[in-house]
Structure 1
Amino acid sequence: MSHDPTAAGSLPDTTDHPTDDTTDHPTDDTTAEELPTLPTDRRTGCPFDPPAELTALSDEPLRRLRYVDGHSGWLATGHAAARAILSDPRFSARYEHLHLPMPLSGMEGVTEMQPAPVGDFLGLDAPEHTRFRRLLTGKFTVRRMRQLSERVAQFTDECLDAMEQAGPSVDLVEAFARPIPALVICELLGVPYADRDRFQQHVATLFDQAADVAAKGEAFAAVGRFMGELVAAKRAAPTDDLLSDLTSSDLTEEELIGVGGVLLAAGLDTTANMLGLGTFALLSNPDQLTALSADPGLAEQTVEELLRYLSVADPILRSALEDVEVEGRLVEAGETVTVSVQAANRDPRRFPGPDRLDIHRKATGHLAFGHGAHQCLGQQLARVEMAVAFPALLARFPTLRLAVPPHEVPLRDRANIYGVVSLPVTWDKE
């Protein structure tokens, strides 16, 4: 699931606000203008690697960083530093405390975040966040997620059947990577089949790099209306799904609609991009592809390594509520820290040979789902989806390969949920 506050539905404020410049200064002799900005350009080199400039900045686990609005904050690239920050309650996840390290796709010029809308627990701290988290954690148990594996397998087979009928060339994103998580999250929340296309269209706009602020705002409002209708239907006639379970909780109507919208949106985009980009990575590493095809029992280990290697949800932002020392550096109250998940997951001090995709690696401890109190609730569901989908895809199409040269695969390089816009593939028909 996504850690992107805009993906979860909290659109940044586009009005001008005064900023508190008391913390917008470096603590050493370097001026703010001389500080590096967050590197985001992946257009050169390997499409699966972090930007080369980011790798160059990773020699220090925590260093100064200049933000879009001129704020002088921090960049955490070391695995230990990232874990420490994400697990420390002295660092806030509240959107209104955060400075943006990079322009948001489709929202260039926007530098500030609104407070989290009602029900968006991703942008809250304890004790408000704890209330939502405790309520939802019991709904996302490993046991419950594994119980969904049969339905995941069914949805996967249906997508593969449609691919086979349409083939031997398809866009894997449209045919496979996007529909599987959409069907699964709709199943989990109890979205009626008749409404699934409408929901998917709205959510797709939220994640569309080409969509502007107005279009994203309209899509966000549409998801809210959709969830309002769905909550009312579940209250009137509960069914066996997570959203119906939540209608018996102490959540208000507005909170329930907000939570449902966050779960719907977050349950789709990150997993969809992992399936698309993960397939691209496997096709680009034939030895790893062959190893997984020969031994589907490696599926769960492969998923963990792909999560580490690709780190599609990046970065995670936190703001210091008080002065905190991390890695011998003093992060002052009010300063934002950009935690680079992709850099932390490529930290050679934690993962030897980190730039190599190795599905035999024990990649436990990666930060692809975050860490600490805000660690992704849906991580077990995402794992189940990928562990089922990747082996099934390779078993059905053993000759699967790219239909275009690798450098022609369009990348989502302007979003903080990384992936492929499309993935043209082909295979040999028997």
Structure 2
Amino acid sequence: MSSSTLPLPNSATCPFGPPPEISAIRESASLPRVSCPTGIEAWLVTRYADVREVLGDPRRFSVRAGTAGHILANHPPDAPINPGEFPRMEGADHLRFRHALAPAISTAKRMTAIQPVVQRIVDDMLDELATRAQPVDLHEQFAKPVNSAVIAELLGVPASARELFLRGAESFFNGDADDLDAAKMPLYACLQDLIARRRTEPAEDALGILVGRREDFTDLELLITAVTLLFAGYDTTSSMISNATLALLADPVQFALLREDPAVVPGAVEEFVRQLGVGTGLLRIAETDTEIAGTPITAGDYIVVSVQGANHDPAQFSDPDRLDFRRDTREHLGFGFGPHRCVGQQLARLELTVVLSTLARRIPSLRLAVPFEEVTFKTGTPNTAPAPLPVAWDEIRPG
């Protein structure tokens, strides 16, 4: 069967939503076969109900191939699963890590404890931006360092080692296997040292909590788990910060609403995740002969679920392309669905809430430093975002 090319986000035609081809595909009777950037062929699923079905049924559609092998060449779907690489595990193996991670990164108690830390990181970064010449690249000089610092704090990584985190995460998403291998060594050495210290010096950071769990994880499992959390959360949340900020600057009415009514911030976070998240889709592999929406699927076939396409499905969300902070977004799929729903979603919500509310409060004059049409977007990664994002302001108010 012939295949078309996987539709990817297109900043020129649709910067805040799925490419136009997705709407036409969604209305077709059968699933299309698409050729992905890494060379694999996959079935493309775009309707909300079908995407939810695939994500919610790991017995038929496994995540063992990873989620980004259709986009990232250094993440082949047939690679062996490493100890601690829990996002690619299923069943009891996956739950072993998931249950252990819950008190470290997702409970209300943990989020309450880390909220002041996130606020301090954001405020410190804005204080630093206030000393720099304008315009400033908000993606490189704010979104990325804020997010990597939050993940480092979560894991208990000292500030002196944050550059290793940045370099390691960047190499993972640039698609160069040699760069990734070179960046891994110092990052792994840093984490191995930290794990060894947590064996004798208990702490309330995520690694300390995992070390103290009764599951008795090996050092290798802890190491890969920490690296997985970094890689999974780095590009996703930093891209969302930049995308959401650009969307606000492109819509002065919504930015004014955020400044004037902080109570809408939680709704804004959910709406941004619904509208902007996971534009390149998530990869799955069929575990058995089955069908999706009447289309026969053979065991071993790859499936790309268009999460953004599902979140813009008018059958589920009225006027889905409109940004509406008061929309009922409880059923959006921006954090996934089913047993592999994003394990760090509560941390992402917290970080986005702090960032958006603080930007609105401390830089109410924030604006683009170039015409919107001149903003360029990074490509070739699972998460698109404006890069660079040049901004300017009249004043950054004290924290």
Q: TM-score, normalised by structure 1?
A: 0.85
Shift of 1:370: 0.8
1:247 aligns with 2:217: no
Aligned pair count? 391
- CA contact 2:30–2:294 (8 Å) conserved in 1: no
Q: Structure 1 residue aligned with 2:295, among 329, 334, 338? A: 329
Q: Structure 2 residue aligned with 1:298, among 260, 264, 272? A: 264
Alignment correspondent of 1:59: 27
Deviations 1:90-133 (CA, angstroms, capped at 9, x unpaired): 2111128x99545x36x6xx965312222111111112212212
Tell me, in whole angstroms, the C-alpha distance in 2 between the residues paired with 1:286 and 1:171. Answer: 20
After alignment, is 183-192 or 301-310 more displaced?
183-192
Q: Secondary structure at the match of 1:42?
A: coil
Alignment correspondent of 2:183: 219
Q: Structure 2 residue aligned with 1:81, among 27, 50, 60? A: 50
1:377–1:202 distance in 2 versus 1, CA, 3 Å: same
Shift of 1:43: 4.2
Identity fraction in percent: 38
Q: Structure 2 residue aligned with 1:272, among 226, 232, 238? A: 238
Tell me, in whole angstroms, the C-alpha distance in 1 between the residues paired with 2:69 and 2:355. Answer: 35
Deviations 1:128-156 (CA, angstroms, capped at 9, x unpaired): 21221222223221331132111111111
Alignment correspondent of 2:314: 348
Q: Secondary structure at the match of 2:136?
A: strand
1:149–1:358 distance in 2 versus 1, CA, 3 Å: same
Alignment correspondent of 2:147: 181
Deviations 1:366-425 (CA, angstroms, capped at 9, x unpaired): 111111111111100110111111121121111111001112222122211221222100
Alignment correspondent of 2:171: 205
Q: Which amino acid aligns with 2:360?
A: L
After alignment, is 39-48 or 152-161 more displaced?
39-48
Alignment correspondent of 1:230: 194
Alignment of 1:152-163 (within 5 A): 152-163=118-129
Alignment correspondent of 1:411: 377
Q: Structure 1 residue aligned with 2:90, among 125, 133, 136? A: 125
1:344–1:267 distance in 2 versus 1, CA, 3 Å: same
- CA contact 2:25–2:32 (8 Å) conserved in 1: no
Q: Determine which structure has the larger helix proportion and give its number.
A: 2
Dislocated runs of 4+, deviation >6 Å: none
Alignment correspondent of 1:134: 99
| Structure 2 unaligned spans of 5+ | none
Alignment correspondent of 1:146: 112
Q: TM-score, normalised by structure 2?
A: 0.91
Alignment correspondent of 1:47: 15
Shift of 1:84: 0.8
Shift of 1:314: 3.5
Tell me, in whole angstroms, the C-alpha distance in 2 between the residues paired with 1:259 and 1:61. Answer: 41
- CA contact 2:65–2:285 (8 Å) conserved in 1: no
Q: Which amino acid aligns with 1:81?
A: D
Q: Secondary structure at the match of 1:251?
A: coil
- CA contact 1:152–1:385 (8 Å) conserved in 2: yes
1:412–1:55 distance in 2 versus 1, CA, 3 Å: farther
| Structure 1 unaligned spans of 5+ | 1-31
